[in-house]
Every structure is written in C-alpha cells, then in structure tokens.
Structure 1
Amino acid sequence: MNLLVYPSSKEVSALARHSEIVKDFDEITFLVPKGIAQEGEDFALLDGGQTTGKKISTDFKAKIDTADAILFPESIRSFSENYIKEIFLSSMQKHKQVFTEYLPHGIEKKSVFLLGDNDESPNFMTDDGRDNVYGIPIPVIFVLGAGPNTQKFLVQIAICDFFERRGYSVSLIGSSRLSKFFGFPSLPNWMYQNGISERDKIIALNRFFYNQYIISNPDVMIIGIPGGFMPMNPMKYEEMGIWSYLIANAVTPDATVFCSYSIDFEPNAIEWQKNICRYKLNSPFKHIAISNTSINLSLESRRYEYGTIPLSSIKSIPLPICEETEFFYSGDDESMRNMGKSLINFLEDNV
C-alpha cells in the first residue's frame, strides 16, 4: 500500500525517519508544492536532520495515480484554502482514501478519515465510584517541550522504535494525531474542549492512561505532551502550558525528555527550566533533545516565528556542562539511539 503525504513538512518527520514501523503502508511518497524543493531532494531538506534516503517529489498529478491513500497533515506553512480544497476533491474523485488532520470548508466529514476524531466520552469515576487517580505500575516516560514545533512527536516515535527493537512492549499515547499510522492512539479530543473543568480533565486523563495500560499490558508507556511547558510569549498568551499541567497531574512520570529549540544554551536557563518541570510538573528531566527548529519573536505580529536549521549548524553550537544533564539531537538517528540507551539505563537504576 502506498501512502501519499501532501504537503510534506517537518511535521511528518516521524513518517520519513521511521517509515519501517508505519502500519498498513509499505511505501510512503512525500510531496511538496513546486518552489519549496527540487524533485528528488532528500527529505532532510524539510526537517534539517540527517539524510533519510527518502526523496521529495513535486509532481502531484503523476504520484496520485499510483497512491492508495493520501494524507493531508497540518503544516506550519500557510496554503490557500481553495487550493487545498481542490487537492482534496481531486483525491476523492480518484477514489483515494483520504486521511486528514483538518477539514477545509466545503469538505464533508463523512467523505474522509478525520484523524483524532472519536466519540469517546471522558470517564470521571473509578469502578468503585470514587474520583481518586490510579497509579500506572510500569515505567512512564514523558516527552514534553519548551513550546510547539520542537519535534516532540519525532522524539516519541524514536524512543518507541528503540525500545521495541530492544524487545520491550510499548504503549504510546502520542501528542500528534499521526500516531494512528504507527498503531497507537493520540491524546483524546475532549482534552482540548471547553465545558469540562480542569479537575475533571485530570481525572479523566488518568482513567484514559490507565485504560491504555490495561488494554496493552506494556512494559513501558510513553506519553507525548503537546504545546509547551509554560507561557512563553510576553506579548500574547497563546501558549499557556495547560496541557503539560493537566497531564502531569494525571500521571507521574519516571523519566522525562525535554525537547528544546535550537538556541545558545545557558546553564542558568537550563537549570531554571529543570526547576519549573521539577516543581510545577513533578517531571524532573536529565535528557534534552535539541530540535532543528529556531524561534524568533516578531515585534510586528507579536507572535513567534519558526525556522529550520541544518543539523551541522546545530552541532557547531557549543553545549554547556550541566550537572545531571545529557544532550541529544532530534534529527540525528544515532543520537536518538544513544538517548534510548540512556533512558533504559536511567529507568533500570531508578525504577
């Protein structure tokens, strides 16, 4: 089965870098609009990481005829809605199965597979009618980040892939709806909805994670946390760190991976981040995954703007010496394997 991904970007890095563990599809074609890349360039051009051997295509019309399904992922790039709608309609007219993270205006929900869409209701009570929280009796790993676009999902899949290759049974609850393509659930939709109190969301999330443990009976659980760990923008509070707060109160991790932007690291700043995660989220970390994402606050739009930095440039940035802190690179496959080894050693020594 051939899956066509359009428009491809850094957000689908996990599909490119871990395509061998994608379920149901043995071939994935990554397409971008013309002008973003040249035909045949490596996917690494999009995410800044190590070369993948996965080639980019710009010829949508030629590739769609050989595809069995098409995925429309969310992207930090903006595209004309009319243009995207035309691509949707073209795919459906050719009777392709359509997976999407969003619905353009005028596209009926029943005609596509909307990723992350489910009718599951939150459960606020335990079997005995109490509203206490259950403990998860296996090692739990959090993957959280300084903010959005820190390649958290790529790191989650890299950890999952490494643990499974070592013979461990893994339950992953992903921060991205793309989890479906790896055979795992993503965080429930009701977590993002209004009308449910924070207290009830915490209890319901605890039930959700515990039920995943009961269903999967895994050796380890990985939980991806969307967004950031605290408010970042002093001009506009668009990222409040709410999801990290809710999830950290629903379950206590045994290890935490902190995904960072590509910046000049200061020991004092790292210690400050570690203290916030330790005391606010009960999620102390020693593993930092450096993403290929740069961040800049635009004074004009009052929003953060994100860019992609090549791995070679990131590795040229000196790393500070910080006590009980290890640094790894999200876009470097060998570095991610080293992080997996370090996590196993850490859990063996502390759980």
Structure 2
Amino acid sequence: MWIEKGNDPEGYELIKVEGTFLKKENVLIYPYDSQFTPMLRDKGFRERYDQVFISSLPGWGLCGKDASYTDGGDLIGITVSQEFEQMLGEVDTVIFAETDNSYSFKNNILPKVTAAIEAGKNVIFLMKITEQFHTIREQCIHKGVQFTSYRESNIEEAYQPAVSVQEIEDCRTPILALIGLAEYTNKFKLELELKAAFEDMGYRVSVVGSRPYCEFMGFHSFPTFMNELTNESDKILNYNKYIMHIEATEEPDLIIIAVPGGFMRYNNKITNDFGITAYEIFQAVVPDTAVLSLFHERYTSEYIEGILNSIKYKLGLDIDAINIANRQIDWIEMVSSQPGQVSTLTLNLDFMRKSTAECRLVTSIPVFNTMEKGDNEKIANLIIDKLSEAELALNF
C-alpha cells in the first residue's frame, strides 16, 4: 500500500514514495489517543517510518502506558510520553493527529506546532487548523519545512463530479459496504485491515473511507461534496459519479465503501444524523456484500434480527458478517454527556472472546471481532466466497 523498499550505498533502508526513493523517517505523533491507534497498528504505516514516537496530554491518562492501552488490543510496543520537546530532536516529521479527547488548540496544540517548526521539523495535520491555516503555512515556508494538511485541502477533491443527467449508473465492480451502528465501533480499523487482507491476496482494492484524511493512509477520503452540497438528490448523483470515476480510472477488483457515522438513530441522544448519509450512499450505489459493526452488548436473537431487518428494509442491504467492537456504551457517563457525544468503555480481549462466542449462538450471521488476530482475514475470505457464489468473483 505504502512502500517499496530498497537500500542506498551507505546501507540506509529506503522507501519509494510516488516513484522516488527516500530515507525512512522518524515520526512523532501528537496528541495521541484512540483515534490514531488503528493507523498505528496498520502494517503499511509502521513500515513507512524507521521509528515512531507518540506523545499525549497528561490529563488523558495515557502517558507511561503502551500505545495499545487506548484500544484494549495486543501490545504495540511503543510507550506514550508527555515529553514532546525532548522527542523533537529524534524525529524528522511531526503528525498532529485528530483525537477523540477534547483539547484547546491555542493552549495544547499551537505551542507544539511552533516548537516543531522552529526545530526544523516537517509537519502533517490530520486535525482541522482552519483559523491558523495560513499563519502556520507561512511559518513553514519561512523556516523551509514541509507543510501538509489533509483537512483544509482534500487531495481527492481534484475530481469534482459534474452532474448534468439525473441518472444512476450501475457499477460493474463488486462493492463491499462497511457500515456501523454508530461511531466508535472499530469501523476504521476494519477498513484498514480488510484493505490489507485483500491486497495480501493479490487483489486490487479501491477504498472510499469514512474519515476526512484517508489520503494519508493511501486511499480516498469520504468526499467533501457530501457535506457541502445542499440538494440531497445532487449528493446521491454526485456520489454515484464519484464511484464510477474510481472504477474507470483505477480498474479495481473490489471497491470498499465505508459509511461515516451510523446507519440509523441509536436513541434520542445519539441520533447519527438519523442515518441520512447512509441512505444517500445506498441510493447512489448497490453493494454486493456488506459487513456491520456493532457496539458490544448482550445481544439476543430478537435484537440482532431487529437490527438486520432495519438495515434490509431501510437500506436494501443483506449483512454477510457482523463485527462486534470491543467498545461498549457507558450508559452512566452518557447521562451527563453532551447531546451527540458518545461515551464508551474499552473491553479486553479475553472478555471479548467469550462475549463474541456467546453472540454467535444467537444469530446465523458469522460474528467476528476485528481486534482478534486473524478475524479480518476470515472476513475477507468470507466476502470472496460470497462474491464467488454470486458469480461476482474477484479477478487477479
């Protein structure tokens, strides 16, 4: 996905980025929390860099712990530090990451940005910096360091569909849809893992991700016109043309479409924009197979059946696999949280193994946990089998 390796005459390991061989860099991620963990676990991301350092805010309770503490998965082997300035001397680039936790940009981020630029470090922004965008960019130009922002300038929007005909086109390439009951159901990790699994099998995969900075990970972000257009019909038509453009230009064996947010209103407090985005996407394209991510709960057969029927009759999708996230809604904390804010608890792997096994007893749909080693490859094989049965087999 990311790299092609080589070596220079002095023995340094090199990577090929956009056709050019470069030395592998050391990188510092700040401020680190669970939002970045799926990327930190991604094989392509780890191979792109020589050493990865991570720093967090002291009040978040992560400093001194292994990076895996944020998602409850297997050990990553990188310790979270609060010593940002001390680590600057060890790195070439600083990634300012989007987070789940709240922070003050003025007090917590801007001083670190200034310190990184003054130290001559390249800076990458996955967080929004709208108010300081031009100031920070000018500082980088003056200091001669590289400035990259994936939020203020969406690279993928170089292609803007121009809809003149009110008509939906059928995609010939098999489409896998990834949907979630809400945010925090490990959907982004599933996107990364399934893309890697299919590519390891030799397939060409195009992905339209659920986050606005997916180009950083080598695939397409959720298109910004879906948020900027005011006419709902135009959103549907444009999304259809966007997918058709990807099919025509990239010629993939499989297209993975990940839906931001949730597919329905979870309750009166967690509305998920009432599932409007999911509805629009599945008016634009018709997936051939779908995977559903759910919060951890004590599910009954009636509950699962109700969710599956809701998806079937609202979105026209049959679910082929269920991913149970190791995140459970903290209902006690939710009482005092802000409207739309989801508070969750992270569950350990041993507990999830037992719980996932119990869930398999109440539904005929295969149940997995993306945090469990090997489960993502099992989901990928299940999808291939499904497409083969439907005579939509992927071609090498």
TM over 0.5: yes
1:28/1:139 CA distance change after superposition, 3 Å: farther
Question: Secondary structure, in 3 states, of the residue corresponding to 2:273?
Answer: coil
Match of 1:101 among 126, 129, 134: 126
Aligned-partner residue type, residue 101 of structure 2: R
Q: Distance in 1 between matches of 2:378 and 2:366?
A: 10
Match of residue 210 from structure 1 = 244
Match of residue 108 from structure 2 = 83
1:22 Cα deviation from its structure 2 partner: 6.2
Does the CA-based 8 Å contact 1:124-1:131 persist in structure 2? Answer: no
1:239/1:306 CA distance change after superposition, 3 Å: farther
CA deviations over 1:234-268 (Å, ceiling 9, x no partner): 14645321221111111111111111111111211
CA deviations over 1:180-234 (Å, ceiling 9, x no partner): 23311111112112x5211100000011111111121111111111100101131
> Where do residues 170-319 of structure 1 align in structure 2 (5 Å cutoff)?
170-193=205-228, 195-235=229-269, 237=271, 239-297=273-331, 298-301=334-337, 303=339, 304-317=342-355, 318-319=358-359
Match of residue 368 from structure 2 = 328
Q: Which has the larger radius of gyration?
A: 2
Match of residue 32 from structure 2 = 8
Does the CA-based 8 Å contact 2:264-2:272 persist in structure 1? Answer: no
CA deviations over 1:87-139 (Å, ceiling 9, x no partner): 222222223222223334752246142214235474242xxx52211211111
1:137 and 2:172 aligned: yes
Q: Larger deviation: 158-167 or 29-38?
A: 29-38
Q: Distance in 1 between matches of 2:78 and 2:205?
A: 26
1:177 Cα deviation from its structure 2 partner: 3.1
Q: Distance in 1 between matches of 2:327 and 2:336?
A: 21
Aligned length: 346
Question: Secondary structure, in 3 states, of the residue corresponding to 2:291?
Answer: strand
1:282 Cα deviation from its structure 2 partner: 1.6
Aligned-partner residue type, residue 43 of structure 1: A
Q: Larger deviation: 268-277 or 15-24?
A: 15-24
Question: Secondary structure, in 3 states, of the residue corresponding to 2:188?
Answer: helix
Q: Distance in 2 between matches of 1:334 and 1:16?
A: 18
Question: Secondary structure, in 3 states, of the residue corresponding to 1:107?
Answer: helix
Q: Distance in 1 between matches of 2:385 and 2:270?
A: 41
Report the TM-score, using the length of structure 2 for normalisation: 0.81
Match of residue 123 from structure 1 = 161
Does the CA-based 8 Å contact 1:20-1:26 persist in structure 2? Answer: no
Q: Distance in 2 between matches of 1:90 and 1:30?
A: 16
Does the CA-based 8 Å contact 2:337-2:343 persist in structure 1? Answer: no
Question: Secondary structure, in 3 states, of the residue corresponding to 2:94?
Answer: strand
Query: Structure 2: where are the runs of 5+ without partners?
Result: 1-24, 138-146
Q: Distance in 2 between matches of 1:301 and 1:46?
A: 20
1:158 and 2:183 aligned: no
Q: Larger deviation: 27-36 or 321-330?
A: 27-36
1:62 and 2:97 aligned: no
Aligned-partner residue type, residue 336 of structure 1: N
Question: Secondary structure, in 3 states, of the residue corresponding to 1:133?
Answer: coil
Q: Distance in 2 between matches of 1:22 and 1:182?
A: 11
Does the CA-based 8 Å contact 1:287-1:339 persist in structure 2? Answer: yes
1:338/1:238 CA distance change after superposition, 3 Å: closer
Aligned-partner residue type, residue 76 of structure 1: D
Question: Secondary structure, in 3 states, of the residue corresponding to 2:44?
Answer: helix
CA deviations over 1:1-57 (Å, ceiling 9, x no partner): 223211222222222221335685454333223362343x43221111122344433
Q: Structure with the greater relative contact order (CA < 8 A, sep ≥ 6): 1 or 2?
A: 1
Aligned-partner residue type, residue 349 of structure 1: E
Does the CA-based 8 Å contact 2:360-2:366 persist in structure 1? Answer: no
CA deviations over 1:34-85 (Å, ceiling 9, x no partner): 362343x432211111223444333212222222222222212112332122
Does the CA-based 8 Å contact 2:294-2:322 persist in structure 1? Answer: yes
